[in-house]
């Protein structure tokens, strides 16, 4: 009015977006929702639509779907758009990342259009994970920062689960989202982790030495800290120690220790855990 901006309405809304896909598929979905919850004046007559783009090692998988919809507040009803993307990292050994972006166009009646973008760099796809037994190699995608969890059953692996739970309770990492383990596939440091934790383990019939954090991580003794153990573990190392660095060693049932290798191989396959990726170790029933 008279050359000065005048507020003729306002609209309050929540915007949320998320992705979902599969560890065994090369494509995924990025969905966005707009939920207006109050407004007044000319802004109540606005509409919204949107389009999605994909940048990185990916392309759009079909067309985006976000038809023009009214933004008039109505019981927090969401206006939803959905579109797919597909990785181009399909060659054997390839790893690719992708950012998908929704651009929302908001159109108040009688006013200029406004746009706002919402990007998600949440997806990493690969063809690195090989076959696991009868399960074939395949392309798939994950959210790379999310630490999936492998469970050690107390009923199936009692001595393994006991050692890991005590090690975690003493402060060693791997139990939580904030303090996960990170997979390591470098042979030299894996062997060093094992030798520093279990290199002088005694020979006891039916038992073998277990180290936690696992030798196949970046949290083992090759990367700092000292060895510790617990009473009854038959390892010559300090007991009753705590803290986040170092590793614990314990003599456990040999068959359980052997089974742990197959359990971890299946877990890495199922959840596409690659070199340096985070993961958690939990104790189940």
- Confirm whether 201 is domain-assigned: yes
pLDDT at position 64 = 83
Cβ-contact 71, 48 below 8 angstroms: yes
Q: Across residues 68-75, what is the average pLDDT?
A: 85
Q: Give residue 143's pLDDT.
A: 95
SS3 category, 12? strand
pLDDT of residue 6: 87
Question: Is the confidence at residue 117, as pLDDT, over 80?
Answer: yes
Flag whether 226 is in a domain: yes
Q: What is the pLDDT of residue 15?
A: 94
- pLDDT value of position 154: 97
pLDDT of residue 73: 84
Please report, for the domain that includes residue 71, its CATH number: 2.60.40.1230
Looking at the structure, do residues 149 and 275 belong to the same domain, yes or no? yes
Q: Is the pLDDT of residue 1 over 60?
A: no
Q: Convert 71-110 to b/e letters by CB count within 10 Å (16 or more is b).
A: bebeeeeebbbbbbbbbbbeeeeeebbbbbbbbbebbbee
76 pLDDT band (50/70/90 cuts)? low
Please indicate, yes or no, if residue 236 is contained in any of the structural domains. Answer: yes
Domain count, the chain: 2
Contact 211, 230 (CB under 8 A): no
Q: What is the largest CA-CA distance in the chain?
A: 93
> Mean pLDDT over residues 2-17, rounded?
87
Residue 75 pLDDT exceeds 80: no
pLDDT (tens digit per residue) in 226-278: 999 999 999 999 998 999 999 999 999 999 999 999 999 999 999 999 999 99
Q: Is residue 140 part of a domain?
A: no
In a domain, 136, yes or no: no
Please check whether residues 111 and 165 belong to one and the same domain.
no
Whether residue 265 is found in the same domain as residue 153: yes
Per DSSP, which regions of the chain are E strands?
9-21, 27-41, 47-56, 58-60, 69-70, 79-87, 95-107, 114-126, 140-142, 148-153, 181-182, 207-212, 227-228, 247-253, 278-284
For residues 60 and 181, membership in a common domain is answered with: no
**Which range of residues forms the domain containing residue 69?**
9-126
Read off the pLDDT of each residue in 95-109 and give the average, rounded to a whole number: 96
Chain mean pLDDT for the chain: 95
Which runs of consecutive H residues, i.e. helices, occur in 49-106?
A: none
Is the domain of 87 the same as that of 185?
A: no
Question: Quick one: 156 and 95 in the same domain?
Answer: no
User: 2: pLDDT confidence band, cut at 50, 70 and 90?
Assistant: low
User: Are residues 155 and 122 both part of a single domain?
Assistant: no
Residues 154 and 63 in one domain: no
- For residues 149 and 122, membership in a common domain is answered with no
> Quick one: DSSP state of residue 118?
E
pLDDT of 66 reads 94
- The answer to the question of residue 138 being in a domain is no
CA distances 247 to 64, 173, 238, 241, Å, are 50, 10, 11, 10
CA distance 52 to 65: 9
Residue 194 in domain: yes
Q: 32 and 120 share a domain? A: yes
How much is the pLDDT for 63? Answer: 81
């Amino acid at each position: 009015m008279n050359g000065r901006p005048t507020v003729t309405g306002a609209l309050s809304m929540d915007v949320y977006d998320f992705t979902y896909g599969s560890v065994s598929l090369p494509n995924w979905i990025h969905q966005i929702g707009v939920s207006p919850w109050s407004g007044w004046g000319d802004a109540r007559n606005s509409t919204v639509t949107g389009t999605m783009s994909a940048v990185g090692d990916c392309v759009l998988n079909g067309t985006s779907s976000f038809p023009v919809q009214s933004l008039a507040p109505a019981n927090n009803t969401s206006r939803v758009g959905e579109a797919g993307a597909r990785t181009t990292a399909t060659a054997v050994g390839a790893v690719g990342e992708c950012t998908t972006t929704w651009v929302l166009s908001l159109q108040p009646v009688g006013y200029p259009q406004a746009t706002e973008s919402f990007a998600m760099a949440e997806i990493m796809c690969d063809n690195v994970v090989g076959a696991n037994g009868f399960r074939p190699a395949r392309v798939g995608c994950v959210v790379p920062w999310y630490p999936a969890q492998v469970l050690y059953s107390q009923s199936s692996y009692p001595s393994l689960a006991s050692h890991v739970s005590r090690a975690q309770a003493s402060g060693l990492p791997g139990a939580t989202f904030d303090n996960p383990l990170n997979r390591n596939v470098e042979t030299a440091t894996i062997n060093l982790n094992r030798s520093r934790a279990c290199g002088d383990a005694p020979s006891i019939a039916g038992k073998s030495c277990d180290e936690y954090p696992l030798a196949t991580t970046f949290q083992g003794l090759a990367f700092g800290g000292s060895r510790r153990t617990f009473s009854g573990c038959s390892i010559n190392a300090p007991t009753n120690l705590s803290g986040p660095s170092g590793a614990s060693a314990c003599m456990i049932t040999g068959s359980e220790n052997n089974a742990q290798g197959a359990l971890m191989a299946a877990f890495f396959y199922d959840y596409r855990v690659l070199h340096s990726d985070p993961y958690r170790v939990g104790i189940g029933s």
